[in-house]
């Protein structure tokens, strides 16, 4: 995205059509002349949407493996393909619309260094408002469902731990460690999810209702920070799952339940 900004601002400035008194006109077909920015916007939107769905699928898979190990709703190869197809369709509906929407440019010649040409989108444009509301709605729902599933897993592990206190002290200790680890995982995921969408959502509301604060320098800086926080999950979620959530943890959680299905189901 930075390379595209620099390239088109320095070598293809004629496509901006800026005038001395009239400012810059609204260019509705800029993605045709500016493919690098379109690709950059598309990848950025995918980086926001995909971690949410991947987190949901992982949490659902862990839920069915630990809480419902004998459930008929566990992921199979066919179900994974079906769910991924539906998810890609939902994501594409949002990302394509925001990638090819109308772009308003505000005189890029005034900037002497890095200019955000790729993201000079009119926040009051109807397509942008609609897709932003659609995207935030999906993200919030998906993240809330993810946290709910992890809380259900913690509740199941706690219930099993209380039941095995009289069976084995070592098993009770193992389940206590598993419960603590799952609580840490859930806490980290909850904090990252909240940090990723809440600032951007508040900024979207402020833009939607035209708060004067966003017109100040501080408002611009806060809006920039809120925009980059949208990508927290895409960078930190893989690390979180790699370090804290493993197949070994899943086996420990449901091993006792599979050994004594009649007693603990």
- pLDDT of 94: 64
- pLDDT of 16: 55
pLDDT tens-place values along the chain, 265 residues long: 556 656 665 666 665 555 544 555 544 445 455 566 667 777 777 778 788 888 888 888 878 877 777 777 777 778 877 887 887 777 777 666 656 554 544 454 444 433 445 555 556 666 667 777 877 888 888 888 888 888 888 888 777 766 655 555 555 566 667 677 777 777 877 888 888 888 888 888 887 787 877 778 788 788 778 878 888 887 777 777 666 655 555 555 555 454 444 444 4
Predicted TM-score (pTM) of the model is: 0.64
Confirm if 143 and 52 have CB atoms less than 8 A apart.
yes
- pLDDT of 134: 78
Which positions ≥6 away from 139 have C-beta within 8 Å? 48, 49, 52, 196, 197
- pLDDT of 114: 39
- pLDDT of 9: 59
Q: Both tokens of residue 30?
A: 């800029």
- Partners of 24 in the β-ladder: 18
Three-state SS for 24?
strand
Q: CA 81, CA 75: separation in Å to the nearest integer?
A: 10
- pLDDT of 115: 45
- Partners of 68 in the β-ladder: none
Torsion of CA 228, 182, 158, 193, to 10 degrees: 10
Helix or strand (DSSP H, E) at 246: none
Q: CA 221, CA 103: separation in Å to the nearest integer?
A: 21
Please provide residue 23's backbone torsions phi and psi, each rounded to the nearest 5 degrees: 75, -150
Q: 49 is in which domain, residue-wise?
A: 2-264
- The CATH number of whichever domain residue 238 belongs to comes to 1.20.1070.10
Q: How many domains does the chain have?
A: 1
Give which of 46, 30, 257 is closest to 153, Cα–Cα: 257
- pLDDT of 264: 42
Give which of 230, 229, 24 is closest to 111, Cα–Cα: 24
Please provide residue 2's backbone torsions phi and psi, each rounded to the nearest 5 degrees: -65, -40
Q: CA 188, CA 243: separation in Å to the nearest integer?
A: 12
Torsion of CA 95, 100, 105, 108, to 10 degrees: 80
- Partners of 104 in the β-ladder: 26
Helix or strand (DSSP H, E) at 206: helix 169-208
β 26-27/23-24 pair status: unpaired
């Amino acid at each position: 995205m930075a390379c595209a900004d620099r390239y088109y601002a320095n070598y293809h400035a004629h496509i901006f059509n800026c005038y001395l008194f009239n400012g810059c006109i609204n260019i509705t077909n800029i993605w045709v002349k500016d493919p690098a920015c379109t690709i950059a916007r598309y990848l950025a939107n995918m980086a926001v949407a995909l971690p949410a769905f991947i987190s949901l699928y992982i949490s659902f898979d862990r839920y069915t493996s630990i809480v419902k190990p004998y459930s008929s709703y566990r992921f199979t190869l066919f179900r994974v393909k079906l769910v991924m197809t539906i998810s890609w369709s939902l994501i594409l509906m949002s990302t394509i619309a925001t990638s090819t929407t109308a772009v308003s440019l505000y005189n890029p010649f005034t900037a002497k260094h890095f200019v955000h040409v790729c993201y000079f989108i009119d926040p009051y444009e109807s397509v942008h408002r609609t897709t932003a509301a659609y995207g935030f709605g999906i993200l919030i729902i998906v993240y809330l469902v993810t946290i709910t599933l992890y809380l259900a897993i913690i509740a199941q592990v706690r219930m099993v731990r209380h039941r095995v206190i009289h069976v084995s002290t070592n098993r009770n200790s193992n389940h206590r460690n598993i419960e603590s680890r799952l609580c840490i995982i859930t806490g980290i995921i909850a904090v990252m999810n909240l940090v990723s969408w809440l600032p951007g959502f508040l900024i979207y509301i402020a833009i939607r209702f035209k708060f004067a604060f966003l017109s100040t320098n501080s408002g611009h800086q806060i809006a920039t920070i809120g925009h980059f926080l949208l990508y927290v999950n895409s960078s930190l979620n893989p690390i979180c799952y790699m370090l804290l959530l493993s197949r070994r943890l899943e086996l420990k959680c449901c091993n006792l339940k599979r050994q004594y299905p009649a007693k603990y189901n």
